[in-house]
Structure 1
Amino acid sequence: MGYWLAGFDVVGVDIVPRPNYPFAFILGDALEVMREICQEFNLVHASPPCQAHTTLTKGTNKGRTYVDLIPQMREVCEWFGVDWVIENVVGADIRRDLSLCGEMFGLGVIRHRDFETGWLGTPGPEQPRHLKHRGPVRGWRHGVWRDGPYIAAYGKGGGKGTVAEMQKAMGITWTDVHEELTEAIPPAYTRYIGQQFITTGELGAAHLPDPAARLAALDRSGLALAS
């Protein structure tokens, strides 16, 4: 959604069906689809599975092995010479060209994420200032209840956010599937990245659309959107 608000026509890819996805969708293996059609796009955004790099894996799930697709996705983009963004959790094996936090956009989640940007021949995105958090994430931590302005948008129980709370906190209303919400990044992140690409990348600032017009068009389409 964020890239769409920034002015892009969006095509999503996933290996499992996503009937709530609001744009064109291809069901298939992301790597295979990238190899086939990535050159048809101005920008490729890849969000490989994060389990190989999460704190949970290193703690609760210690000993399990998970596939790491980051090197392969980077290799495909470099081979075909397309501009790319690779997103993953803090600690993943990517360049930290951009690090985003929900507080930068006034959201109800923290959700730190790092982004590697392969914008050929450009200076890359501008890093926003990491604002001080307004308090803790609400929920139980090590037997202690903490109340704060942010929702825990992962897992269930322990004071973690409900589906409705996660939708509001992240600005996502086109899906009410818990698993999709817990794996999503806020559209504000990709909207910012898309705008940065348009203004500093090869497309040029003249292509930057009017966000209000895009929101109005979305409203007319019958899809609900949190502004």
Structure 2
Amino acid sequence: MGYHLAGFEVDGCDIADRPRYPFAYHRGDALEYLTHLIITGGIQRYTLVHASPPCQSKCGLTVGTNASRGWGGSHVDLVAPTRDLLETCGLPYVIEQPNGRAEIRKDLSLCGEMFGLGVLRHRNFELGRWGVMRPAHPTHRGYVRGHRHGVRRDGPYVAAYGKGGGKATVPEMQHAMGITWTDVHEELTEAIPPAYTRWIGRAFLTARQEVFV
């Protein structure tokens, strides 16, 4: 949605069925689909590729709390093969990951406080074949509401993941992130606020314009 708001025509791809996705959509393995676009030349109709590979293999929750308690299963790390394909496709690209992932360059880091949102949701972005100045990270206005390490706190932000312990409800997540097109809990917990990709999309278009001036 953020790229759409920045002026892009958006196509999406995911291995899961996403009937609420508001743009053109291909259901399937994203790496296989990208390979198909490269081989057939279909990739040439695009300007920018954004990839958000699954982050569970080395995210803080997986390697920390879940591992210590024997929760969860094995997760495949798809960051490297995703980057390889993005390099092959020849287009400028963005790879998004949460904090805790060392495999991507942190060319850009965004936080909900930069956009006045009700979530912090720190995310890092590796930028391929283009770049942008990193914005300053503002001081947080307080805590994330809920229980953490046995302590209950109130604050201006909600935790848009999990359930219980003061975590955000579905309406709270929608409001805090600016997402209206889905009310599916799992989709909201995996999403990044469209304000992030609107900022990235506008920065890319500005950088591209400067190159051609």
| TM-score normalised over the length of structure 2 | 0.91
The 5 A counterparts of 1:1-227 are 1-37=1-37, 38-62=43-67, 64-92=73-101, 93-119=103-129, 122=130, 124-201=131-208, 204=209
Segments of 4+ moved more than 4 angstroms:
none
Q: CA deviation at 1:57?
A: 0.7
Q: Provide the aligned C-alpha RMSD in A.
A: 1.6
CA–CA distance in structure 1, aligned partners of residues 147 and 15 of structure 2 = 34
Q: CA deviation at 1:54?
A: 1.1
Q: CA deviation at 1:79?
A: 1.2
CA–CA distance in structure 2, aligned partners of residues 71 and 142 of structure 1 = 33
CA–CA distance in structure 1, aligned partners of residues 5 and 52 of structure 2 = 19
Identity of aligned residues (%): 64
CA–CA distance in structure 1, aligned partners of residues 148 and 65 of structure 2 = 14
| TM-score normalised over the length of structure 1 | 0.85
Aligned to 1:221: none
> Which sections of structure 1, spanning at least 5 residues, go unmatched?
206-227
Secondary structure in 2 matching 1:59: helix
Letter in 1 for 2:32: E
Secondary structure in 2 matching 1:33: helix
CA–CA distance in structure 2, aligned partners of residues 53 and 112 of structure 1 = 16
> Which sections of structure 2, spanning at least 5 residues, go unmatched?
38-42
Secondary structure in 2 matching 1:168: helix
Secondary structure in 1 matching 2:65: coil
Say whether the 8 Å CA contact 1:97–1:116 is kept in structure 2. yes
CA–CA distance in structure 2, aligned partners of residues 73 and 142 of structure 1 = 35
Number of residue pairs the alignment of both structures matches: 202
Letter in 2 for 1:41: Y
